[in-house]
Every structure is written in structure tokens, then in C-alpha cells.
Chains A and B, each alone.
Chain A
Amino acid sequence: MGDHNVNYLEAKKGLKSWLVTVDHKRIGLMYLFSVLFFFLAGGVFALLFRAELLTAKGDMVSADTYNTFFTLHGVIMVFLVIIPSVPAALGNFVLPLQLGAKDVAFPKLNLLSLYIFWIGATMALGTIIVGTLDPTLIGRVDTGWTFYTPYSSNGGTAVIWMTLAAFILGFSSILTGMNFIVTIHRLRAPGLTWFRLPLFIWAIYATSIIQVMATPVLGITLLLLIMENVVGIGIFNPNLGGDPVLFQHFFWFYSHPAVYIMILPGMAVQSELIAVFSQKKLFGYKYVAFSSLAIAIISFIVWGHHMFVSGQSELLSMIFSFLTFLVAIPSGVKIFNWVATMYKGSISLKTPMLWALNFMFLFTIGGLTGLHLGTLSTDVHLHDTYFVVAHFHYVMMGGTLMTFVGGIFYWWPKMTGYTYNENLGRASAIIVFIGFNVTFLIQFVMGAQGMPRRYYQYIEQYEKFHVVSTIGAFILLVGFLIAAFALVQSLIQKNKAPDNPWKARSLEWTHTATPPVEHNFIGQPVVEYGPYDYDAPMVVETLESLEAKGQPYQFSEA
């Protein structure tokens, strides 16, 4: 063991010390850099097919290759980027620190989840090679990220690989979720009651519940799909008495809640950023906390809104449509509370705050357009058009990825010990905001006019829209490259960051060094105020420091 009071990056040295570490901070960092790498890969695929879509004719790549591009973009962005982004990368680093714990409850399982993630990711990307080696070309993964049957039922080797990869990645997600739930229940610092938890923790808690409850169902669905491909068991094959729509039910029973596995963590970071950069008590703490749980619960009973045109009974569709509207309530509660928090706050427009504002605008647009799709009658018109594509990009990318990047900028000084160039960070946020809207706002228009998603060639009427959208995609690239540059530059320039640069009140800022020591805290922190009590005095006591003062901590709550 190294010296426990040395910062975690220097406590042990060498590649091996990283590969066998059980330190949640190091695991979080490895997750972070893996996710960023896959973000780049997924982005490259997006740029490739956006380039293809510049012209109405299919001229750059073949139709098969185009299908592979959008499938890989979808699978990578969903399973390798957004789902692990905030929980596994930022959450691993931040959650135990915010709880005043030395680590997560099961550090070895945590490392295992990272390795499972790497194995799944390698298999997912390996399908490119498997698909290329297969001379018949049916080996390519061209099903889209949803793997719908019956098309995927005889998809060939690469589809089996990809399904297996998603199956394996699910276990990584389950392990992270289990770990977090137990950690939040059992490893809170003295005085850190449920209602003194940062809202980041509340939303991650809700996310973890969904991860644990929904992912096993995806697992068994994918297993059935693999069986269908390998031995043709016919469960999803109408020729053999099976039912392809059952796959959709199974798939969306996981994947709709998974949408909240993706967005809740974004909301988690958002609550932290809005409160800290407004330096004001978060408005309606309990409402924000419980709205996360409400979203988690409702998410399990709305999956049928993906099957309005799949031959589901009309009554069922009406019920699902109604239930879907309910999601808007807790989401609205959050938005209003964040806005109310900013009202009369002392807002500082630092880089993380700009990313948080991106979230606020883009997620609101994404959420409201979701109502168009949840409405039975309009969905029949908009289903499987670019309107849907625009909607979920506004929510997933405009929502979660904005706060993910915002969160990276927010916790970067804590993770690395260095500050970055504010102006570069701000510029990246603004350029991404512009690029994002140029890319996706126009897609609402084309979708409403009838442009179907996933088309390789299209009629010329839509060409002007696609040109704008593709230009926007490259603006996005510039924005993200500037953000990456700002972060890399900070590692080279090595400007030391203070322990609490944002004057935040949660434990990871008040009680740890920058970067934290190996076991996080020197002494056991105690908590006397809520995380957003900016009007209360700043307390940095530990059990030991209170003891030394002769006022030992009174363990009040059982």
C-alpha cells in the first residue's frame, strides 16, 4: 500500500497499478476516457453518414455500408457512451466522495464492471471486422440499434456478435447500479441524512434502480434473439408460430426505462451545476428529489408508445399514450425548479454553467416535442420520420451529453488537479449549442414534411434540409474539438486548481484535497447542513477534528 495521504493519481505508479486498482476514482477515470474514445468513434460514424446524406442520391458509400454506419453510430452512442457516461464515469468518481465514503460498497465488482464493459465494447467494435470478413456481406450489423425482428432473426455472424456485446454490456450496467444503490444506503457519512444528499445522488439512485430492474429483461430478450439466430427457436418468427411484436414489447420494456437511465443522470449533474453557479439554495429540493423517483417509476409503464403503429390494440395504445403524458409532469417540475433556483441567484457564467444552460434549452425542446410523439394521432404521422430522430437527439444529446461535458468541466479540477482555459471552455459550449441547433432543428421540419429516418436515398425536395443538417454536424465537431483541446491543454500547462474553485458545499469540494487522497478523506467527514445551504456557514469538520476540539460528534439518527 502506498501512502494514504498522497493524492490518488500518485499513490501508486505504473500501468499495472491502474489495471488492478479498486479505487473508485481511478475506475471512474478509466471509464471516462473509454467513454470519450467511444464518443469520438460514434461521432465519426455520424459524420460519415451525414456526409453521405448531403446529396439525395446515394453516391459516397453503398447502401449496405450506410446501414452499417447508422447502426454502429446508434449502438456505440447508446450502449458505450450515453448509458455509462454520467453514472459509470462521473458517478464512480463523484458518488463516494459526495457520500463521505472511502469507496463504493463493492470495489472489486466495480473493477469487474469496467472489464465487462471493455469486453462488450471490444465485441461491439469487433463486428466491423467480423462483418468485413464475411464475404456474403449479410454478416454486417445493419439492424439499427433496436435489433427489430424479424429482420434481425437471420442477421448473420456480426448481428449475433453485436447482440452478445449488448448482452454483456448490460451486466456491466447492472453491477454499477447495484453497487451505487448499496453504497447510497449504507455508506453515508454521519449526519448525511437522505434529505441532505446532493441531488446528484438522488438522481443517480433513481437511475440505478432502473438499471437493476430493467437491464435483466433486456438481457433475456437479447438471449432469446441470439437463440433465434443460432437454433431458430421461432419465438419471434411468425412462420413457426412466434410473434415478432413480442420482441418489441420485450425490447422497449427495457429500452424505454433505459431512456431514463440516459436522461436522469443528466438531470443529476444539472441540479448540481445550476445550484452551484447560482450560489443559491436549490428551489424545491424535495420535489426535485422525488421527481427523479417518479420518473423512474413511470418509465416502466409507458413502453407501448413505441408500438402505436405495430399492430398493438387501440385500447392499449390509448392507455400508453395517456401514461406517457404523465412523464411530462416530473420533468416539468425539474425544469421549473431549476429556473426558480436561478431566479435572483448570483449567476456566474462559467464553462460548466454554459453547458448546463445548453441542457436547459435543448432538453426543454426535446421534452416538449416528445409530447407530439406520445400523442396517438400525431404519432401516426410522425412515426419513423426525422421528427423522431430530432426529438431523441434533443433529449439524449441535447440533454445528457451537454451535462456530461458540463460535468467533466465542473469536476475536472478535482479529477486532475488542474484548471483549464475558461474562454476556450465557454467558446466550446457556445459553438456546440449553435452546431446542435443547426443540425437538429431542421430535422423537425423535414420529419413533419415526411422524410423517413434511416433512408439512404431520398427525393430532392429534402436535399436543402439535409445540407443544413450536415453543415451543423461539422460545426458540432469543431465545438467538441475545442472542448477537448481545452482539457488537454490544462494537462500540459499544469495550472494548479484550488480545493474548492466553485465555492460548492458538497463533500467532494469541502472535505477533499485537489486531487483527493487515495482514501478520499483525511478523517471521517461529518455533515451538518444540506448541500445547497449557501446561507449557512461553511463547515469542514470531521469526527477527528471535533474530537480534538473536545466536542465529539453526537450520533443522533439510528
Chain B
Amino acid sequence: MGTGIATTGKFPLSHHFTNVEQQVESNKFGMWLFLATEVLIFGGLFCAYIVYRYLHPEIFVDAHHFLDKKMGLINTIVLLTSSLTVALAIRAAQTNEQKWIKIHLVTTIICAGIFMCIKYMEYSHKFHVGLLPGEYFRAASEQFREPHNVQIFFGIYFLMTGLHGIHVVIGMVLLSVMLVKASKGKFGPHYYGPLELSGLYWHLVDLIWIFLFPLLYLIH
């Protein structure tokens, strides 16, 4: 097509866009819409959380003592760090510091890995003592004022953190793909769209955890 701005250096312009700006803007817009749907998916769970906390406040207070605040806090710090490093990776692409793109991406992926390891430790402890949702709930404790219903808290806990965990894993895959691209030298000041979009996604995953942590671990 003879219209629009000429494409710069190595920018891979798709056949159906007329110019670079159109492609970049479309991709960004699409990503924001996707993030909106993610927020709404978790929004449904947050609604369920609010309803049950309102219906059974005592269950939430009693059950949250069985979550490990220390591990939750470490995970929060780990994720916040990874959000910073992914932002730095994008910055490195914009300033064309090829080495730092890779270093920051690797750090981000390692942080995500640490998060999942800690999550695994928390989960296996709960499986061990039977703090599980529904019919699998086995933990008997005099600390529960309503032992009959307390599994609802763990149902919500596993659903929310589980869905979040799946998002972390998807994020790790996505960032690994970006790492491969980065080591091929695909990113630079002229082209860093996919990296930026992956970063956006990663920030959202982080943000959701920022809400999950106090809602589940720090109840008064």
C-alpha cells in the first residue's frame, strides 16, 4: 500500500495495518481490553469473597489464622520486585542496552519462580493438615466457632490464589518467550511492543496479589 508513514528499520509491520503507529496503538489497546476482562474475572471472585465475608464474618476471622502471614509477606515483596525488574527491562530496550534487557527479564522470571515455590510450600502444608475446600475438609479444631462452614473460606482461598497462580505461570511462559526474543536481539528503541505488553500483563498479576494478600492473610 502506498499510504502512510514508511516503516522504520526492523519493525515487523503486519499486512493489514497501514502504518507502524496504527499497529502499535492497536496492540496496546487490545492488551488493555484483555486486562479489563482479567480484572472482571477476578472481580467475580472478589464479589463472592465480599458476600461470604458479610454472611459469615466469624469464619474468615477464625480461618485466616491458618494462613502463613510471613510467607505471604515474602511473596508480596518478591512480586513487587519482579514488577520493578520487568519495567527496567522495558526501559533497557528503549535505551538499547541489550545486556540489561536479558538480565532484568531473567530476574523477573526467577522472582516468579520463587513466588511459585513459596506458594507450593503453603499449599502442601494445607493439604497435609486437611485445610481443604468442600468435602475434602478434614481439619478439626476448637478454634473454629463454626467448624461446619469454615471450609468456605478455604474454597475461596484456593480458588483465588489458584487462579492467580495459573496467571503467574502463564506470565513466566510469556516472559520466557520475551527472553528468547531478546537474546536474538529483536528488541530495541525501534521495537519493544511485545515486551511492553508482557510487562503490562505482569503488572496486573502483581496488582491482583496486592489485593489478595490483605484480603486473605490480614483479616481483623
Contacts and interface: CB of A to CB of B under 8 A. Distances in A.
A107 B17 CA distance: 11
Among A178, A220, A243, A250, max chain B CB count under 10 A is at A220
Contact of A220 (B41, B149, B156): B41
B45 A220 contact: yes
Interface stretch (B114-122, B132-140, B173-181, B199-207): B132-140
B74 interface: no
B30 A217 contact: no
A217 B152 contact: no
A243 B51 contact: yes
Contacts of A434: none
Contact of A178 (B16, B30, B59, B159): B30
Contact of B37 (A216, A221, A227): A216
Contact of B40 (A181, A213, A235): A213
Contacts of A102: 15-16
A104 to B, nearest CB: 8
Interface string B5-49: 000000000111110001001100110011011101111110110
B3 interface: yes
A235 B152 contact: yes
Interface string A231-265: 11111000011110010001000000000000000
Given A543-B3, A544-B2, A181 B33 contact: yes
Nearest to A174: B37
Contacts of B29: 181-182, 185-186
A544 B1 CA distance: 10
B142 to A, nearest CB: 19
A179 B26 CA distance: 9
A241 B44 contact: no
A524 B51 contact: no
B151 A240 contact: yes
B10 to A, nearest CB: 21
Interface residues of A, number: 42
Among A104, A233, A543, max chain B CB count under 10 A is at A233
Given A215-B37, A524-B1, A186 B25 contact: yes
Nearest to A208: B33
Contacts, number: 120
Contact of B56 (A103, A174, A241): A241
A51 interface: no
Contacts of B15: 102-103, 519
Interface string A194-219: 00000000000000000011011101
Given A217-B40, A231-B136, A232-B135, A105 B151 contact: no
B159 to A, nearest CB: 7
Contacts of A181: 29, 33
B33 A182 contact: yes
Contacts of A242: 52, 152
A107 B30 CA distance: 12
Contacts of B156: 235
B130 interface: no
A186 B155 contact: no
Interface residues of B, number: 43
Main secondary structure of the interface of B (DSSP, over half): helix
Interface in B117-176: 133-136, 146, 148-149, 151-152, 155-156, 159
A231 B134 contact: yes
Interface string A164-192: 00000000001000110111011100000
Contacts of A231: 133-136, 155
Contacts of B42: 220
A224 interface: yes
A101 interface: yes
A265 B194 CA distance: 33
Among B15, B42, B56, max chain A CB count under 10 A is at B15
A18 interface: no
Interface in A94-120: 101-107
Contact of B134 (A103, A178, A187, A233): A233
Given A178-B30, A519-B15, A240 B152 contact: yes
Contacts of B44: 216-217, 219-221, 224, 250
Contacts of B36: 212-213
Contacts of B149: 234, 240-241
Contacts of A243: 51, 55
Contacts of B38: 216
B45 A105 contact: no
A183 B18 CA distance: 13
Contacts of A232: 133-135
Interface in A443-490: none
Contacts of A185: 26, 29
A234 B26 contact: no
A234 B134 contact: yes
A27 to B, nearest CB: 13
A524 B18 contact: yes
A404 to B, nearest CB: 26
Nearest to B40: A216
Contacts of A107: 14, 16
A178 B44 CA distance: 20
Contacts of B25: 186
Nearest to A103: B16
B48 A224 contact: yes
Contacts of A186: 22, 25-26, 29
A246 B51 contact: yes
A107 B27 CA distance: 12
Contacts of A519: 15-16
Contacts of B34: 178
A235 B52 contact: yes
B5 to A, nearest CB: 12
Nearest to A254: B44
Among A183, A241, A543, max chain B CB count under 10 A is at A241
Nearest to A215: B37
B152 A241 contact: yes
B51 A234 contact: no
Contact of B59 (A103, A174, A183, A241): A241
Given A235-B152, A241-B152, A250-B47, 14 more contacts: A106-B26, A182-B26, A182-B33, A185-B29, A187-B26, A216-B43, A221-B44, A224-B48, A232-B135, A240-B151, A240-B152, A241-B52, A519-B15, A524-B1
Interface of A: 101-107, 174, 178-179, 181-183, 185-187, 212-213, 215-217, 219-221, 223-224, 227, 231-235, 240-243, 246, 250, 519, 524, 543-544
10 tightest CB-CB pairs across the interface, nearest first?
A241-B149, A220-B44, A233-B155, A232-B134, A103-B16, A216-B40, A102-B16, A233-B133, A216-B41, A186-B26
22 contacts: A105-B16, A178-B34, A182-B26, A187-B26, A216-B43, A217-B41, A220-B41, A220-B44, A224-B44, A231-B134, A232-B134, A232-B135, A234-B134, A234-B155, A235-B52, A235-B155, A241-B59, A241-B152, A242-B52, A242-B152, A246-B51, A524-B1
